[in-house]
Amino acid sequence: MSEKVRLATVWLDGCSGCHMSLLDMDERLLEFAETIALVYSPIVDAKEFPQGVDVTLVEGAVSSEEDEKRLYLIRERTKILVSLGDCAITANVPSMRNPFGVDAVLQRVYIENTSLQAQIPRHELPLLLPRALPLHNFVEVDVFMPGCPPSADTIYFALNELVAGRRPDFGAHLHFG
């Protein structure tokens, strides 16, 4: 790729830890200034997911109808879709609610654990899907980047490979800690 790689990052049902790890690349982020254009992310002021994105890193599971809708749009507009972290790959932490069902979870959060004005908000919340699921249950995923979160070194390796036009092979390049 001779022009800058158009990169997006998206935060679905995750804790933002994967994005924190991305930022943990610290000064190495500056190395990508010449090769990457960050066109959409929780850390940039872009309202709509753009057309023609080369690489999108998606953190988090798909837990609501809104997540699902966003993911289909992202897939449509992205060449290489990366599941960033274990929540995106396996549903991990968000899937802990799956055995209980949506009603029981809402009851627990908004009624049983509330001492004042206990009520379940019916209009303000995105509608939860019956189960939190990984991205590849909905769309084709091109790259799986494991870790909870993937370390900054792992993300750095992956971005360098993607910028070079290669699919990262994490076999020998998973960095922990």
Name the residues that contact ligand SF4, by CB under 6 A.
14-15, 17-18, 59-60, 85-87, 92-93, 148-149
Shortest Å, Cβ 115 to ligand SF4: 28
15 vs 37, beta carbon nearer ligand SF4 = 15
CB of 162 to ligand SF4, least distance (A): 19
Please report how close the Cβ of residue 157 comes to ligand SF4 at its closest, in angstroms: 17
User: Which CB, 6 or 144, lies closer to ligand SF4?
Assistant: 144
**Cα atoms in the Cβ-side hemisphere of radius 13 Å centred on 67:** 27
- Residue that is written with structure tokens 């799986």 in the block: 144
Q: Judged by CB, which is closer to ligand SF4: 18, or 74?
A: 18
Compute the least distance from the CB of residue 93 to ligand SF4, in Å: 4
Does residue 63 contact residue 13 with C-beta atoms inside 8 Å? yes
62's enclosing H/E stretch is strand 62-64
Nearest C-alpha neighbor of 12 from the set 88, 74, 72: 88
Question: In Å, how far are 17, 94, 125 from 139, measured between CA atoms?
Answer: 23, 18, 24
